């Protein structure tokens, strides 16, 4: 997949899932493609902690092209793929995949734009399904008497103490410190009255 013609540098990104895996196949392919620099992560694709991905996204400049060996080394879902490719394109940065089903797609052509739109539509469909499933789960939990969210850190007893101390003129900061809660939590609960 290519979103811009290469006018700047070709920058590579490689990822292996575990320390036991080797990135050499990816590194060789990226070197053969002409990448002037390669960033390598050792992390699961689903991991939010991919420091080298963050570093390469920060490093690339308009006119550069970010190059990956396969899509699954770059994005863990269609939503991530579309989001990241759109963000790169908005910054004037190209994207190129060396192998796999989408390797020959160039969004600068009518066929390439169509394929990216199909991928984008699939990502939107995936987002809708996730939203529906999440809402169905919340509704089911509510029907069983469970309400989501974090449990409150302030009990009715503590709130009664806080109200009494506040009525005597004590500061919210002092009350919050004495009760071991944040000022924001105390303000939120006092404000609900």
Burial of residue 140 (number of CB atoms within 10 Å: 0-12, 13-18, 19+): exposed
Look up residue 187 and give its DSSP letter.
H
β-pairing verdict for 10-16 and 37-42? parallel
β-pair partners for 41: 15
Phi and psi at 96, nearest 5°, equal -135, 135
Look up residue 73 and give its DSSP letter.
G
Return the active site residues: 17
Q: Which contiguous run of DSSP H or E holds residue 97?
A: strand 94-97
């Amino acid at each position: 997949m290519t979103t811009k013609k290469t006018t700047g540098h070709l920058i590579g990104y490689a990822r292996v899932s575990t320390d036991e895996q080797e990135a050499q196949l990816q590194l060789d392919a990226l070197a053969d493609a002409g990448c002037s620099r390669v960033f390598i992560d050792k992390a699961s694709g689903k991991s939010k902690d991919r420091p080298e991905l963050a570093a390469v996204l920060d490093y690339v400049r308009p006119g550069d092209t970010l190059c990956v060996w396969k899509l699954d080394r770059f994005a863990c879902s269609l939503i991530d793929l579309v989001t990241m490719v759109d963000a790169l394109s908005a910054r004037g940065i190209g994207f190129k995949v060396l192998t796999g089903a989408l390797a020959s797609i160039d969004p600068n052509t009518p066929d390439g734009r169509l394929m990216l739109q199909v991928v984008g539509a699939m990502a939107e469909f995936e987002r809708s399904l996730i939203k529906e499933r999440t809402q169905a789960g919340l509704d089911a939990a509510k029907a069983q008497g469970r309400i989501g969210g974090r449990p409150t850190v302030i009990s009715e007893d503590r709130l009664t103490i806080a109200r009494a101390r506040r009525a005597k003129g004590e500061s919210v900061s002092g009350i919050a410190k004495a009760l071991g809660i944040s000022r924001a939590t105390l303000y939120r609960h006092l404000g609900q009255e």
